[in-house]
Amino acid sequence: MISTEHSDRLVAVSVFGEFTLADYKEFEELVNYKIRFQGQVDLLFDLREMVGFTLDVAWEEIKFSRQHADDFRRIAVLTDDQWLTWSAWVSQLFVDAEVQVFADENDARQWLADVAETAQ
């Protein structure tokens, strides 16, 4: 299950439990809308409550990242899991965005806000 919030150029997603393909499709729809009408966006992924993801989510993420390689400015990932930290760094191969991993949500949001201020 996911929870989403968005404002101007930010899309924030919190994942609870297992991250399913239906959840990912909901995320994709929101991001596609934001990109279409506002251009590049920043992403905040809160994965601290995620217990896993399905294989089809991993495949969809690769396809989506390749299709939107230039559509993100910064991607902040909230997690304390080493495997997710590693996969966040690998995802940089598919997107032309700064990717940073955080343990603290306030730090992540501040990092995203810093780039948003300079973009205005």
Q: What is the pTM of this model?
A: 0.85
Using CA atoms, how far residue 107 sits from 18, 76, 78, 89, 110, in Å, is: 25, 10, 10, 18, 5
Q: Map out the domains of the chain as residue ranges.
A: 2-119
The predicted structure's pLDDT at residue 29: 95
* Mean of pLDDT values over 80-108: 77
CATH architecture of 2-119: 3-Layer(aba) Sandwich (3.40)
Output b/e per residue, 96-107; b: 16+ Cβ within 10 A. Answer: ebebebbeeeee
pLDDT at 3 over 80: yes
> Which one-letter amino acid corresponds to residue 76?
A
How confident is residue 120, by pLDDT bands cut at 50, 70 and 90? low
The predicted structure's pLDDT at residue 53: 85
pLDDT at 81 over 90: no
The mean predicted confidence, pLDDT, of the chain is 87
